[in-house]
Amino acid sequence: MGKSSYYVDKRDPTAVRALIEAFDVRGTNYEDAIRTALSIHDRAFILYVDHANMQQLSPLQDAFTFNIETDELVLFTDNPDALVDAVLEMAMFVRGFNTVMGIEDEWKTQVAIGAWRHVREALKVRLGLPLAPARNWSAGIELEAVERFNMMSFAPLVFLASRPDVEISFPDGANSLCITAYQRLKRIMEAIALNIGLGDHLTFNRRLSRALLWIEESILPKDISPFDNLFGPDGFADGFFEDDSLS
Protein backbone atom coordinates (compact mmCIF):
# COMPACT_ATOMS: atom_id res chain seq x y z
CA MET A 1 0.00 0.00 0.00
CA GLY A 2 1.31 3.47 -0.91
CA LYS A 3 -0.74 6.39 0.32
CA SER A 4 -4.27 6.88 1.59
CA SER A 5 -5.88 10.28 1.21
CA TYR A 6 -8.64 11.92 3.25
CA TYR A 7 -10.61 15.09 2.70
CA VAL A 8 -10.75 16.68 6.14
CA ASP A 9 -13.47 19.23 6.87
CA LYS A 10 -14.92 19.78 10.35
CA ARG A 11 -18.20 20.90 8.76
CA ASP A 12 -18.61 17.58 6.92
CA PRO A 13 -19.70 14.85 9.37
CA THR A 14 -19.07 12.15 6.78
CA ALA A 15 -15.46 13.27 6.24
CA VAL A 16 -14.78 13.45 9.98
CA ARG A 17 -16.36 10.03 10.53
CA ALA A 18 -14.19 8.54 7.77
CA LEU A 19 -11.05 9.91 9.45
CA ILE A 20 -12.09 8.55 12.85
CA GLU A 21 -12.76 5.12 11.38
CA ALA A 22 -9.52 5.11 9.38
CA PHE A 23 -7.53 5.50 12.62
CA ASP A 24 -9.79 3.02 14.44
CA VAL A 25 -10.48 5.30 17.40
CA ARG A 26 -14.28 5.45 17.45
CA GLY A 27 -15.60 5.58 21.01
CA THR A 28 -12.16 6.29 22.52
CA ASN A 29 -10.58 9.39 24.02
CA TYR A 30 -8.69 9.79 20.77
CA GLU A 31 -11.94 10.40 18.91
CA ASP A 32 -12.72 13.31 21.23
CA ALA A 33 -9.16 14.64 20.90
CA ILE A 34 -9.26 14.50 17.09
CA ARG A 35 -12.64 16.23 16.95
CA THR A 36 -11.41 18.92 19.35
CA ALA A 37 -8.26 19.48 17.30
CA LEU A 38 -10.34 19.74 14.11
CA SER A 39 -12.59 22.32 15.75
CA ILE A 40 -9.95 25.04 15.39
CA HIS A 41 -9.68 24.64 11.60
CA ASP A 42 -11.19 27.37 9.46
CA ARG A 43 -10.91 25.52 6.17
CA ALA A 44 -10.76 22.01 4.78
CA PHE A 45 -7.50 20.29 3.80
CA ILE A 46 -6.20 17.05 2.32
CA LEU A 47 -4.44 14.51 4.54
CA TYR A 48 -2.21 11.83 3.07
CA VAL A 49 -1.12 8.85 5.15
CA ASP A 50 2.14 7.52 3.71
CA HIS A 51 2.02 3.78 4.43
CA ALA A 52 5.18 3.06 2.43
CA ASN A 53 7.48 4.89 4.87
CA MET A 54 5.90 3.78 8.14
CA GLN A 55 8.33 0.96 8.82
CA GLN A 56 11.31 3.27 8.32
CA LEU A 57 10.18 5.88 10.86
CA SER A 58 12.38 6.23 13.95
CA PRO A 59 11.37 8.01 17.19
CA LEU A 60 13.63 10.95 16.31
CA GLN A 61 12.12 11.47 12.87
CA ASP A 62 9.23 13.81 12.14
CA ALA A 63 5.91 11.97 12.03
CA PHE A 64 4.43 14.38 9.49
CA THR A 65 5.20 17.24 7.12
CA PHE A 66 3.43 19.80 4.97
CA ASN A 67 3.41 20.19 1.21
CA ILE A 68 4.00 23.94 0.99
CA GLU A 69 3.00 24.00 -2.69
CA THR A 70 -0.40 22.35 -2.26
CA ASP A 71 -1.22 23.05 1.43
CA GLU A 72 -1.52 19.33 2.12
CA LEU A 73 -0.62 17.37 5.24
CA VAL A 74 1.44 14.18 4.91
CA LEU A 75 1.47 11.76 7.86
CA PHE A 76 4.07 8.98 8.11
CA THR A 77 2.33 6.98 10.83
CA ASP A 78 -1.11 5.72 11.81
CA ASN A 79 -0.54 6.68 15.46
CA PRO A 80 -3.53 8.77 16.66
CA ASP A 81 -1.29 10.86 18.93
CA ALA A 82 0.67 11.93 15.87
CA LEU A 83 -2.59 12.66 14.04
CA VAL A 84 -3.69 15.05 16.81
CA ASP A 85 -0.31 16.81 16.72
CA ALA A 86 -0.43 16.99 12.92
CA VAL A 87 -3.96 18.42 12.88
CA LEU A 88 -2.96 21.13 15.38
CA GLU A 89 0.13 22.07 13.40
CA MET A 90 -1.89 22.07 10.19
CA ALA A 91 -4.11 24.72 11.80
CA MET A 92 -0.96 26.76 12.43
CA PHE A 93 0.28 26.15 8.89
CA VAL A 94 -2.86 27.41 7.14
CA ARG A 95 -2.96 30.49 9.38
CA GLY A 96 0.47 31.59 8.22
CA PHE A 97 2.94 30.46 10.88
CA ASN A 98 6.33 30.51 9.20
CA THR A 99 7.96 27.09 8.88
CA VAL A 100 11.02 28.35 6.95
CA MET A 101 10.63 25.20 4.87
CA GLY A 102 12.43 24.98 1.56
CA ILE A 103 15.34 27.28 2.42
CA GLU A 104 18.97 26.28 2.00
CA ASP A 105 19.95 26.32 5.67
CA GLU A 106 18.29 23.24 7.19
CA TRP A 107 19.15 24.36 10.72
CA LYS A 108 16.77 27.31 10.35
CA THR A 109 13.94 24.93 9.54
CA GLN A 110 14.78 22.92 12.65
CA VAL A 111 14.65 26.05 14.82
CA ALA A 112 11.18 26.79 13.43
CA ILE A 113 10.06 23.20 14.03
CA GLY A 114 11.25 23.37 17.64
CA ALA A 115 9.31 26.60 18.25
CA TRP A 116 6.23 25.12 16.56
CA ARG A 117 6.30 22.17 18.95
CA HIS A 118 6.14 24.49 21.94
CA VAL A 119 3.20 26.40 20.43
CA ARG A 120 1.45 23.12 19.71
CA GLU A 121 1.78 21.92 23.30
CA ALA A 122 0.41 25.28 24.52
CA LEU A 123 -2.57 24.80 22.18
CA LYS A 124 -3.19 21.42 23.78
CA VAL A 125 -3.39 23.06 27.18
CA ARG A 126 -5.91 25.63 25.94
CA LEU A 127 -8.02 22.95 24.27
CA GLY A 128 -7.87 20.58 27.23
CA LEU A 129 -6.06 17.89 25.26
CA PRO A 130 -3.65 15.44 26.90
CA LEU A 131 -0.02 16.48 26.74
CA ALA A 132 2.84 14.25 25.71
CA PRO A 133 5.19 13.28 28.56
CA ALA A 134 7.75 16.00 29.20
CA ARG A 135 10.66 13.68 28.37
CA ASN A 136 9.47 10.43 26.83
CA TRP A 137 12.69 9.67 24.92
CA SER A 138 16.35 9.79 25.83
CA ALA A 139 19.28 10.07 23.48
CA GLY A 140 23.02 10.13 23.88
CA ILE A 141 25.47 11.88 21.59
CA GLU A 142 28.61 10.22 20.31
CA LEU A 143 31.74 11.99 21.51
CA GLU A 144 33.02 12.26 17.95
CA ALA A 145 30.03 14.47 17.09
CA VAL A 146 30.68 17.03 19.83
CA GLU A 147 34.45 17.06 20.35
CA ARG A 148 34.67 20.23 18.24
CA PHE A 149 32.22 23.08 17.91
CA ASN A 150 31.80 23.52 14.17
CA MET A 151 29.12 23.23 11.50
CA MET A 152 29.35 19.44 11.65
CA SER A 153 28.37 19.47 15.33
CA PHE A 154 26.00 22.44 15.06
CA ALA A 155 23.44 20.69 12.84
CA PRO A 156 22.69 17.81 15.24
CA LEU A 157 22.70 20.22 18.19
CA VAL A 158 19.91 22.27 16.57
CA PHE A 159 17.98 19.12 15.69
CA LEU A 160 18.14 17.78 19.25
CA ALA A 161 17.31 21.17 20.76
CA SER A 162 14.15 21.20 18.65
CA ARG A 163 12.89 18.08 20.45
CA PRO A 164 11.38 19.07 23.81
CA ASP A 165 10.30 15.44 24.32
CA VAL A 166 13.88 14.11 24.21
CA GLU A 167 16.28 14.10 27.16
CA ILE A 168 19.81 14.62 25.85
CA SER A 169 22.98 13.45 27.58
CA PHE A 170 26.43 14.65 26.53
CA PRO A 171 29.43 12.33 26.83
CA ASP A 172 32.51 13.02 28.90
CA GLY A 173 34.89 15.07 26.81
CA ALA A 174 32.18 16.97 24.95
CA ASN A 175 33.25 20.48 23.97
CA SER A 176 31.77 23.03 26.38
CA LEU A 177 30.80 25.27 23.45
CA CYS A 178 28.60 22.48 22.08
CA ILE A 179 26.81 22.08 25.41
CA THR A 180 26.31 25.83 25.76
CA ALA A 181 25.01 26.13 22.19
CA TYR A 182 22.50 23.34 22.78
CA GLN A 183 21.22 24.98 25.96
CA ARG A 184 20.92 28.40 24.34
CA LEU A 185 19.12 26.99 21.30
CA LYS A 186 16.55 25.28 23.50
CA ARG A 187 15.85 28.51 25.39
CA ILE A 188 15.54 30.49 22.15
CA MET A 189 12.95 28.07 20.72
CA GLU A 190 10.96 28.24 23.95
CA ALA A 191 11.13 32.05 23.92
CA ILE A 192 9.85 32.28 20.33
CA ALA A 193 6.73 30.35 21.36
CA LEU A 194 6.13 32.15 24.68
CA ASN A 195 2.45 33.19 25.03
CA ILE A 196 1.79 32.54 21.34
CA GLY A 197 -1.78 31.55 20.49
CA LEU A 198 -3.35 30.39 17.25
CA GLY A 199 -4.03 33.97 16.13
CA ASP A 200 -0.53 35.24 16.83
CA HIS A 201 1.25 34.14 13.66
CA LEU A 202 2.58 37.63 12.89
CA THR A 203 4.22 37.88 16.31
CA PHE A 204 5.59 34.35 15.96
CA ASN A 205 7.03 35.09 12.52
CA ARG A 206 8.73 38.29 13.72
CA ARG A 207 10.25 36.49 16.69
CA LEU A 208 11.44 33.63 14.49
CA SER A 209 13.12 35.99 12.03
CA ARG A 210 14.89 37.86 14.81
CA ALA A 211 15.93 34.65 16.55
CA LEU A 212 17.49 33.27 13.38
CA LEU A 213 19.55 36.44 13.07
CA TRP A 214 20.64 36.21 16.71
CA ILE A 215 21.67 32.60 16.21
CA GLU A 216 23.67 33.49 13.11
CA GLU A 217 25.40 36.35 14.90
CA SER A 218 26.07 34.85 18.32
CA ILE A 219 25.84 31.04 18.20
CA LEU A 220 26.49 29.79 14.67
CA PRO A 221 30.09 28.50 14.42
CA LYS A 222 32.33 30.86 12.50
CA ASP A 223 35.46 29.92 10.58
CA ILE A 224 37.37 27.57 12.87
CA SER A 225 40.83 28.60 13.99
CA PRO A 226 43.37 26.68 16.10
CA PHE A 227 42.31 28.78 19.09
CA ASP A 228 38.96 26.96 19.14
CA ASN A 229 40.85 24.01 20.61
CA LEU A 230 41.52 26.10 23.73
CA PHE A 231 38.01 25.23 24.90
CA GLY A 232 37.89 21.73 26.27
CA PRO A 233 35.06 19.95 28.08
CA ASP A 234 35.77 21.89 31.28
CA GLY A 235 36.20 25.26 29.63
CA PHE A 236 39.50 26.99 28.91
CA ALA A 237 42.53 24.75 28.37
CA ASP A 238 46.11 25.72 27.64
CA GLY A 239 47.08 22.68 25.60
CA PHE A 240 47.36 24.81 22.46
CA PHE A 241 50.49 26.48 23.83
CA GLU A 242 52.39 23.28 24.61
CA ASP A 243 55.54 23.11 22.52
CA ASP A 244 57.82 20.09 22.85
CA SER A 245 60.54 21.90 20.93
CA LEU A 246 61.10 24.35 23.78
CA SER A 247 63.79 23.45 26.27
pLDDT digits (tens, 9 = 90+) for 161-197: 999 888 889 999 999 999 999 999 999 999 999 999 9
72 SS3 class: strand
* Confidence band for 155, pLDDT divided at 50, 70 and 90: very high
Closest CA to 12 of 47, 38, 33: 38
pLDDT of res. 232: 52
CA distances to 58, 149, 205, 230 from 224, rounded to whole Å, are: 33, 8, 31, 12
User: Is residue 160's pLDDT more than 50?
Assistant: yes
Q: Which residue has the higher pLDDT, 51 or 90?
A: 90
* First-to-last C-alpha distance (Å) of the chain: 73
* Confidence band for 62, pLDDT divided at 50, 70 and 90: confident
Q: Does residue 6 contact residue 17 with C-beta atoms inside 8 Å?
A: no
The H or E element that residue 212 is part of is: helix 201-218
User: Beta strand pairing status for 45-50 and 72-75?
Assistant: parallel
User: Is residue 81's pLDDT more than 70?
Assistant: yes
User: Is residue 107's pLDDT more than 60?
Assistant: yes
For the ranges 57-61, 89-93, 116-120, 122-126, the lowest mean pLDDT is seen at 57-61
The DSSP letter of residue 68 is T
* Confidence band for 246, pLDDT divided at 50, 70 and 90: very low
Q: Does residue 230 contact residue 236 with C-beta atoms inside 8 Å?
A: yes
pLDDT of res. 247: 43
pLDDT of res. 233: 52
Residues in a beta bridge with 71: none
224 SS3 class: coil
pLDDT of res. 234: 54
Q: What percent of the chain has pLDDT over 70?
A: 84
What is the radius of gyration, based on Cα positions, of the chain?
21
Distance CA 114, CA 182 (A): 12
Q: Does residue 113 contact residue 163 with C-beta atoms inside 8 Å?
A: no
Q: What percent of the chain has pLDDT over 90?
A: 64
pLDDT of res. 166: 84
Mean pLDDT of all residues in the chain? 86
pLDDT of res. 56: 62
Interior/surface letters 18-30, b for 16+ CB within 10 angstroms, e for the rest:
ebbeebebeeeeb
User: Is residue 98's pLDDT more than 70?
Assistant: yes
Question: What's the whole-number mean pLDDT along residues 206-229?
Answer: 82
DSSP notation for 133-191: PTT-EEEE--HHHHSS-SHHHHHHHHHHHT-TTEEEEPPTT--HHHHHHHHHHHHHHHH
Distance CA 224, CA 210 (A): 25
pLDDT of res. 162: 94
User: Is residue 226's pLDDT more than 70?
Assistant: no
Task: Delimit the domains of the chain by residue range.
Answer: 1-95, 104-236
